[in-house]
Amino acid sequence: MCGIAGFVDRAADPGQRNRDVAVVHQMCAAIRHRGPDDEGSHVEPGVALGMRRLSIIDLVSGSQPIRNEDGSVWLVFNGEVYNYPQLRTDLEARGHRFYTESDTETIVHAYEEWGDQAIARLRGMFGLALWDRNNRRLILARDRSGIKPLHYALVGDRLYFGSEIKAILAAGVPRELDAGALDHYLSFLYTPSDRSIFRDVQKLPPGHLLEWRDGRVRVSKYWELPGRETFPGTDAEAAEALGTVLRDAVRCHMLSDVPLGAFLSGGIDSSLVVGLMAEVSSQPVQTFSIGFDEPAYDELEHARVVARHFGTDHHEYVVKPDGLAILDDLVSHFDEPFGDSSAIPTWYVSQIASRHVTVVLSGDGGDELFGGYDRYVPHPRVALFDRVPVPGRYRAAAAAWPRLPHGTRGKNFLRHVSRNVEGRYVDAIALFQPDEKAALLNADVRRTLGRSDPDATLLARFARLGDLPWASRMMHVDFETYLPDDVLTKVDRMSMAHSIEARVPLLDNEVVELAASLPAHMKIRGLVRKHALKAVARTLLPPAILERPKQGFGVPLGVWFRGHLRELFGDVLRSASTRQRAYFDRSFVDRMVDEHLAGRRDHTMRLWQLVMFELWHRQYLDRPAQPAATRTPRTTVEVGTSQAG
């Protein structure tokens, strides 16, 4: 695993070499945590490719950047390609000559052979940058599911790129807030799939490829989740096929020259991954779990059941309220405001894992692919409302809820049931609703936003999915948004903060393709979710794990913030610096804090969002931006071998 960074410029001035070397070194230094083992770069007029290496495969000769035979194609790569042995055999038969044993070199020769179509042949996770000198074009590409991140910024004639935004900022890219991204964050806990909180920095979406040529940028989609449920078999045949691809995926993901283990929550997804690892491992699997001192949130006993069942070498840690001492570290590693509080346990489970292993497998992706979230089945109260034979009930609800004052009991329910199914989905996942943001944001911010509408942008994703069952449509949208922008972002940043590589076998290409082909009724049967996945798990897991209700990776913030940490909301949100920014209406924030601390309403997650935004602002906008370095780095690698970044 690696972190990559660099830039390309229309101006190819040999006289700028020392400056370019210094800039790419500064960019790499900002993401040293992603690869503490080595740094390499390739610099030529107008081009700089850099990487930080975490040694996983080909430990002896594994430095990047990597090149082709004549040095006309160069690559930096963050990720793993699990089908590289097959690709390598094919490419060698076609006359390509390799000088390393790494998967990274396979990509270079695949590009020579198949051009941009090579990206779709890669089975794995990646963010990569490839420089084609003969055609003076740079290619950026990101894996299908968005497991690995990739950001870019076009400033004048120069395109910067980096695994993390901090690498791009280190090059001197302006730090100006994108109000539309803030609006999206307030709605959904994270910034948009193709933008960032910084106006000049964008994300390359999952399954996309970016081409830079002569100062022009073109972004195109090379893959999307199939939209047809074509599996022709029975439930039993689906379980058999799924078991086969899952076993193969886990086996491929265990390829490593360094110690590896697994995150274990005690839920079905992570437990299934551990069980499949145990089938093929010659030694006890090392497992890592996090718990809380609040029983309603603690899953350690469930994880212990699985660990005992498979005889793992088990490690665990209990997070207490003082665990929030890491808040500044969280903010630093995300680069943007990030409102999902499960980043806290993910930080700690990564920390304990890093003391024992360099690679971990996780169970992420199972909910989005196989129907695991509560929102995929009707809520009992909503279902009851829909069945009540009262003419005009939807129109009445739509007319009533806007007239009710903020905080009135029943207002949120009436708003929810007044909407169509797509609107109910957005309503269910949003933190601040549009009418609440209108009260929260001050007039200047609202004017800046103009017609920004995160809800409408999300709703537009449903348009191309009209032929699928409703549950499948929700899963598709979650796969495209919540999974990469929240779940996978969280796992990538928290694992890389501790210099370990997190792999996601449930998001293997073959697993994803098969899951997308399964009809909705094979995933959700009545109120039973993950039906097909549970059929596979039933052959491996203890009944107690299969039958337990879904708990999620919750954090007892509400308990903490009414106890030991009750003053944090007020101290941060009522501070002089926060007031002076004036992004938010002071009286609205004060009312939320007062209602929460008095126990009249639970605003935990909303206040947490505002706190994280404020702490981000202090780190990234209040502090003066550091200029790009001008010193010459200790070493610069012009030509070298490579490994999986």
The alpha carbon of 35 is separated from its chain's Cα centroid by a whole number of angstroms, namely 19
Q: Which of 554, 555, 488, 535 is nearest to 268 (CA)?
A: 535
Q: Which amino acid is at 569?
A: F
**Residue listed under structure tokens 């890219």:** 173
**Residue listed under structure tokens 């793992």:** 312
Give helix 470-480 / helix 421-429 axis angle, nearest 10°: 40
Is the CB of residue 366 less than 8 Å from the CB of residue 242? no
Task: Kindly give the pairing relationship between strand 73-81 and strand 124-132.
Answer: antiparallel
Pull the structure tokens for residue 196.
């960032």
- Phi-psi map region of 294: left, alpha, beta (phi>0 left; psi -120 to 50 alpha): beta
Q: Which ranges of 144-260 would DSSP assign to H, the alpha helix? A: 165-169, 179-188, 235-253
Q: Which of 444, 390, 392 is nearest to 418 (CA)?
A: 392
The alpha carbon of 54 is separated from its chain's Cα centroid by a whole number of angstroms, namely 19
Query: What's the 3-state SS for 194-227?
Result: CCCCECCCEECCCCEEEEEECCEEEEEECCCCCC
Is the CB of residue 200 less than 8 Å from the CB of residue 171? no
Q: Which helix (H) or strand (E) holds 41?
A: strand 38-44
Beta bridge partners of 50: 5, 41
Is the CB of residue 100 less than 8 Å from the CB of residue 61? yes
Is the CB of residue 500 less than 8 Å from the CB of residue 360? yes
CA 517 – CA 525 distance, rounded (Å): 16
Pull the structure tokens for residue 639.
């030509």
Is the CB of residue 74 less than 8 Å from the CB of residue 49? yes
Q: What's the distance, Cα to Cα, between the start and end of the chain in Å?
A: 4
**Residue listed under structure tokens 């309403």:** 601
Beta bridge partners of 359: 260, 501
Is the CB of residue 76 less than 8 Å from the CB of residue 141? no
Q: Is 34 exposed, middle or buried (0-12, 13-18, 19+ CB in 10 A)?
A: buried
DSSP 315-358: EEEEE-GGGGGGHHHHHHHHSS----TTHHHHHHHHHHHHTT-S
How many Cβ atoms from other residues are within 10 Å of residue 635's Cβ?
Answer: 10
Q: Is 28 a catalytic residue?
A: no
Q: Which amino acid is at 292?
A: F
CA 568 – CA 555 distance, rounded (Å): 16
Active site residue ranges: 2
